[in-house]
Structure 1
Amino acid sequence: MSDNTLEKKHFLLKIITTRTTFSQDMTEEERNIMGQHVGYWTDKQNQGIAVVFGPVLNPSDPHGIVIVEVENAEQVPTLIAEDPGVIAGILKTEFYPMKAVLRK
């Protein structure tokens, strides 16, 4: 692990849809926005900010997660606010600091 990684902070983002049936019944407009949402986080992954992201298939609580690696906690609200799904109002995001990140 590099010294640079030790200085970075990690957060878990929980992305919540507007309804539990969202993945089964999203409209064409919502589907387009979700494509932009995936593109946004793919870009962040390519920048080394999003470590991993994807949907969680919990039938009683469907949501997505993103684990981000940032220099400081103040970056996280901006990352969330710039998500096309959040901008469109079809997603909301909670975030939590991670105490430790263990890597191979």
Structure 2
Amino acid sequence: MASADEADATKAPKIFHCRLIPPRPDFAFTMTDEERALMGRHADYLRAKLREGIMIMAGPVADPAGPWGLLILRAGSEAEARAVTDADPVARSGRGFRYEILPMLSVIM
């Protein structure tokens, strides 16, 4: 039988690294006004997740191959993390954004 500490550990939220891949490598530099407005809704959505305690941090990554978005989430499961990313206005926009979600094996906080 699992100890109380072990049971709590299995119920503890997990941390997920979510990579938002834009529809084109130069997206950050070539956004249209409509895309810029969409990114504003995306930022508002993420700020709400921060207030809810689900998001830990987010921001663009200056990858030489093309910028992409980093989102670090606290969720009970990968399905819960996927529900957060699926509800993001950019993911729902039909404009070619997609998230890759990877669970962190361990975290130092």
Note if contact 2:21-2:98 (Cα within 8 Å) is conserved in structure 1.
yes
Other structure's SS at 1:74 match: helix
- How far has the Cα of 1:77 moved from its partner? 1.5
- How far has the Cα of 1:80 moved from its partner? 1.2
Q: Select 2:105's aligned residue among 96, 99, 103.
A: 99
Identity percentage of aligned residues = 32
Q: Select 2:50's aligned residue among 34, 39, 45.
A: 45
Distance 1:64 1:29 in 2: 18
Q: TM-score, normalized by length of structure 1?
A: 0.89
- How far has the Cα of 1:59 moved from its partner? 2.3
- How far has the Cα of 1:89 moved from its partner? 2.5
Q: For 1:47-79, what per-residue CA distance to the aligned partner results, in whole angstroms no more than 9, with x for missing partners?
A: 110101000011213101111001222211111
**Where do 4+ consecutive residues of structure 1 move more than 3 Å?**
none
Distance 1:44 1:63 in 2: 19
- How far has the Cα of 1:45 moved from its partner? 0.7
Q: For structure 1, which runs of at least 5 residues remain unmatched after alignment? A: none
Aligned residues: 100
Tell whether 2:78 aligns with 1:89.
no
Distance 1:97 1:22 in 2: 26
Please tell me whether Structure 1 or Structure 2 has the larger radius of gyration of its CA atoms: 2
Other structure's SS at 2:78 match: coil
Q: Select 1:60's aligned residue among 62, 65, 68.
A: 65
RMSD: 1.6
Distance 2:13 2:87 in 1: 21
